[in-house]
Amino acid sequence: MKVIIAKDYDEMSRLAAEEMAKVVEVKPNAVLGLATGGTPVGMYKELIKMNKDGKIDFSNVTTVNLDEYVGLAGDHPQSYRYFMNDNLFNHINIDKSRTFVPNGLAEDIAEEGRNYDKKIDELGGTDIQLLGIGNNGHIAFNEPDQDLVAGTHLTGLTQSTIEANARFFDSIDEVPKTAITMGLGQIMKAKKILLVASGESKAEAIKGVLSGKITTSNPATMLQMHRDVVVIIDEAAAKLVK
């Protein structure tokens, strides 16, 4: 695991964008695994700027996202499809038909999950998977639990995640209670993983990621079993790291 401590959020965003750009430079038709949430917004802004400046070309890139709320259509402003269009895809030269987000409106979510895994396999897997981390150590919607699931699956959100995500909705009652998410097995198949975190609220979870111990009560600790992980965090998120 390579750990880079940036001085603040902006530097974290810039360094993370450079990691993504390096992958596309080497492989113009790369498959990028993308993530939503507040953390990657700055990185996406950097990538948009790099694209406008001619420093990164998305015309042959394919993307697969980690997760989606169940019950929200892609044009719902809080859906992750909408987030990706709004924060990245609408502003870069990507072919949107090659951008994949799980379908939260699928009638059979289990089947949607199996098809999503199949799609990723057919694409040859992700060349780099971007991950944020929850205050509780979740990655995508893989919440702390006794068991973790390998493939893309239907999952319930923990109360702490519902509370953390309520800031994006008009009221906490509007936060969906279930989601479809890539599982840890699918995430771990990525050729490279880029984990980003900013702020003191992530310090405890990050401490776990670098602890040398693996536990399902902090799902992100599993990343220690992957052979190519880059962790880019700001000083606040690194507060408990020695």
CB of 236 to ligand PGA, least distance (A): 12
Which two three-digit tokens encode residue 199? Answer: 């702020």
Which two three-digit tokens encode residue 169? Answer: 């909705």
* 226 belongs to the catalytic site: no
Which residue is associated with the tokens 């700001």? Answer: 234
Identify the CA nearest to 32 among candidates 151, 209, 22, 140.
22
Q: How many CA atoms, within 13 angstroms, populate the side-chain half-sphere of residue 66?
A: 27
- Contact status: 88 vs ligand PGA (CB under 6 A): no
- Contact status: 39 vs ligand PGA (CB under 6 A): yes
Catalytically annotated residue among 19, 46, 51, 67: 67
Q: Strand (E) positions, the chain?
A: 2-6, 31-34, 62-65, 67-69, 99-100, 128-131, 153-156, 178-181, 193-197, 229-234
* 51 belongs to the catalytic site: no
- Contact status: 33 vs ligand PGA (CB under 6 A): no
* 67 belongs to the catalytic site: yes
Q: Which is nearer to ligand PGA, 39 or 99 (CB)?
A: 39
CB of 212 to ligand PGA, least distance (A): 22
Spell out, one character per residue from 117 to 146, where the chain touches ligand PGA: x when CB under 6 A holds, - when not: ---------------xxx------------
Count of residues engaged in binding ligand PGA, rule: CB under 6 A? 6
Per CB under 6 A, the list member of 13, 15, 31, 37 interacting with ligand PGA is: 37
Per CB under 6 A, the list member of 4, 10, 11, 38 interacting with ligand PGA is: 38
Q: What stretches of the chain show up as alpha helix (H) in DSSP?
A: 9-26, 41-52, 80-87, 109-122, 159-165, 184-188, 203-209
β-strand pairing of 193-197 with 229-234: parallel
Binding-site ranges for ligand PGA (CB under 6 A): 37-39, 132-134
Among all residues, which ones are annotated catalytic?
67, 136, 138, 143
